[in-house]
Amino acid sequence: MSGIVLEKLDDNRLLLPQTGGMRVPGIIYANEKIFQLLKGDESAKQVANVAHLPGIVNFSLAMPDVHWGYGFPIGGVAAFDLDSGIISPGGVGYDINCGCRLMTTNLTLGDIKARLSDLTTALYQHIPSGVGSTGSVKLSGKDQKKVLEEGAAWAVKAGFGLNEDLETTEDGGAIAGADPEQVSARALERGKQQLGTLGSGNHFLEIEVVQEIFDEEAAKAFGLHKGQIAVMIHTGSRGLGYQICDDYLALMVKHANETGIALPDRQLACAYLASGRGKNYLAAMACGANYAWANRQILMHKTREVFEKTLRMSPRDVNMRLVYDVCHNIAKIESFNIGGVLKKLCVHRKGATRAFPAGHEAVPARYRSVGQPVLIPGDMGSGSYVLVGQEKAMTETFGSACHGAGRVMSRSQAIKSSRGRSIARELSEKGVLVMAGSKGTLSEEMPEAYKNVQDVVQVMHESGIAKKVAKLKSIACIKG
């Protein structure tokens, strides 16, 4: 945290004062435990760097899962004025619309305990995972264009799921304004065979049990109850999204001098939102986001099929239903009250999710009385939290909350630290069955590589940004 001085605002917020070329101050959501972890990380410097960008509104923000990223910190949130502000691929991230999808069932642990190993094996066999994995959904050029434009709706029309799945997917599973013409041939090629695949790294599919309920009203609205079996899927836009980010970063770095923007870090390469290059990136980013929603929709459908076939149960008996699909790694045009005036802003959420409150028009109708579900997965094997967005998020964080536990070790550090250990055996001894494509993935993703998700969630809860609804415990995990 070289050269950065943070001031304590309260028990859950740190102020990064406006200095030098910063156009706004920074605020980091962190309690004392997380603050101590920040001392060994340069992410606070990145929060300051983001504050230099033109058109930034109010604050450069970081959620409690913050850690070092490309340009923007992971866990970073920043909103920009549409006329004078910018769009930055580094503020969205390489895995465009990486996100989480939570499904509930009618099942309890007793219903699947004897078949858990079979169920986990079947999921591993039928859900393609790992670096460069390809799926059974092969796209023609015409179909791929429709995927990029229609998102999850394309998958449902193609027989992968139900119309009701779209009702509880953020933005109905598609961002408007997607233009496949703004996506390179290389990106299209990478996406042709990866639809319906999990990928690698921190992506996963977990079988979980609802362990604790904190808010009965919201839990009831979300269809959650203690002892229930649920499934969490975490993945994104795969090679297509990565290539879109890479292409536009290279383009914006190449033309950086034309913008006249003084960048404290070239990884913050950007374009004005009102410029042709900025508009083209937004149109390509929407394509990546829509691909990711179609991907998670297909994976949910495959998961439904595996549960029904392996457990020899009917769709009615399993009753796998989507609670919510929330995206992170995205930039959205949204309206906020700024100084008493309703303004449209471009909100970058990199490793951060929406946390809209009760009554907001973007919250699905069935949840509007309580607020939007906020899905926060923890480290491998620990499980997840479900929160609900609060009104305070709209005034403090542009309707945003954290997206996970957040790393405290790099992947290389984790591999070094885990030498001589069997991560799979350690998790098995804790009651979590893990299947992965390689030992390397398990080493990179070992639990100690992440912050304690309970600490991260507690900051959001105590600060009034998102309230705890339920805690889910992992019992089986599929990794790439």
Q: What angle do CA 264, 245, 259 make, to 5 degrees?
A: 40
**φ, ψ (nearest 5 deg) of residue 278:** -65, -45
- Give the total residue count for the chain: 480
Which residues are 476's β-sheet partners?
Answer: 207, 433
Mean of pLDDT over the chain: 95
Instruction: Tell me the one-letter amino acid at 104.
Output: T
Q: What is the mean pLDDT of residues 384-409?
A: 96
pLDDT tens per residue across span 263-288: 999 999 999 999 999 999 999 999 99
* Confidence at 317, pLDDT banded by 50, 70, 90: very high
The distance of Cα 278 from the centroid of its chain, to the nearest Å, equals 23
Residue 92 in domain? no
Q: What is the mean pLDDT of residues 112-125?
A: 96
The answer on pLDDT for 248 being more than 80 is yes
Residue 90 in domain? no
Cα–Cα distances (Å) from 362 to 191, 287, 395, in that order, read 29, 20, 16
The distance of Cα 242 from the centroid of its chain, to the nearest Å, equals 15
The answer on pLDDT for 1 being more than 60 is no
pLDDT at 6: 94
* Confidence at 205, pLDDT banded by 50, 70, 90: very high
The answer on pLDDT for 41 being more than 90 is no
- The single residue listed with the structure tokens 């895995």 is 95
**φ, ψ (nearest 5 deg) of residue 227:** 90, -5
pLDDT at 2: 59
The distance of Cα 90 from the centroid of its chain, to the nearest Å, equals 15
Residue 56 makes CB contacts below 8 A (sequence gap 6+) with 23, 24, 50, 78, 79, 80, 85
CA distance 196 to 5: 45
CA distance 318 to 477: 19
Residue 112 makes CB contacts below 8 A (sequence gap 6+) with 119, 207, 229, 311
Active site residue 403: yes
The CATH code of the domain that includes 27 is: 3.90.1860.10
Q: What is the mean pLDDT of residues 63-70?
A: 96
Which one of the listed residues 52, 203, 348, 403 is annotated catalytic?
Answer: 403
Residue 79 makes CB contacts below 8 A (sequence gap 6+) with 56, 57, 58, 336, 345, 346, 347, 348, 398
pLDDT tens per residue across span 372-385: 999 999 988 788 99
Cα–Cα distances (Å) from 183 to 96, 106, 210, 352, 440, in that order, read 13, 41, 41, 24, 32
Q: Is the dihedral of CA 357, 363, 368, 374 positive or negative?
A: negative
1 vs 165, more confident: 165
Q: What is the mean pLDDT of residues 237-259?
A: 95
Q: How much of the chain exceeds pLDDT 70, in percent?
A: 100
Cα–Cα distances (Å) from 162 to 292, 300, 301, in that order, read 17, 10, 9
- DSSP-assigned letters across all residues of 47-79: HHHHTTSTTB-S-EEEEEEEE--SSSPEEEEEE
Residue 40 in domain? yes
Q: What is the DSSP letter of 397?
A: S
Q: How much of the chain exceeds pLDDT 90, in percent?
A: 84
Alpha-helical (H) ranges within 229-323 are 238-254, 256-259, 276-311, 315-318
Q: Is the dihedral of CA 280, 82, 148, 252 positive or negative?
A: positive
Tokens of 449: 């590589």
pTM over 0.95: yes
Half-sphere exposure of 262 (CA within 13 A, CB side): 5
CA distance 17 to 8: 11
303 vs 413, more confident: 303
Cα–Cα distances (Å) from 159 to 175, 206, 209, in that order, read 21, 24, 28
pLDDT tens per residue across span 415-463: 888 888 899 898 889 999 999 888 888 999 898 889 899 999 999 999 9
pLDDT at 17: 97
Cα–Cα distances (Å) from 10 to 6, 7, 13, 15, 47, in that order, read 12, 9, 5, 9, 19
Alpha-helical (H) ranges within 113-225 are 116-126, 141-150, 152-157, 163-167, 185-191, 216-222
304-306-312-314 Cα dihedral, nearest 10 degrees: 20
Q: What is the mean pLDDT of residues 221-240?
A: 97
Tokens of 445: 């993703």
pLDDT at 86: 98
Cα–Cα distances (Å) from 377 to 227, 239, 346, 403, 441, in that order, read 18, 23, 26, 7, 17
Q: What is the mean pLDDT of residues 101-116?
A: 97
Could you tell me if 76 and 350 are in contact, meaning their C-beta atoms sit under 8 angstroms apart? yes
Q: What is the mean pLDDT of residues 79-84?
A: 98
pLDDT at 138: 83
Q: 268, 271, 245, 274: which is closest to 259 by C-alpha?
A: 271
Which residues are 352's β-sheet partners?
Answer: 402
Say how many domains are in the chain: 1
Residue 108 in domain? yes
110-114, 262-266, 303-307, 418-422: the lowest-pLDDT one: 418-422
Residue 300 in domain? yes
Residue ranges making up the domain that contains 297:
7-82+97-479
pLDDT at 210: 98
The answer on pLDDT for 40 being more than 90 is no
pLDDT at 411: 87
The answer on pLDDT for 130 being more than 80 is no
pLDDT at 90: 97
Residue 320 in domain? yes
Q: What is the mean pLDDT of residues 144-150?
A: 97
37 vs 324, more confident: 324
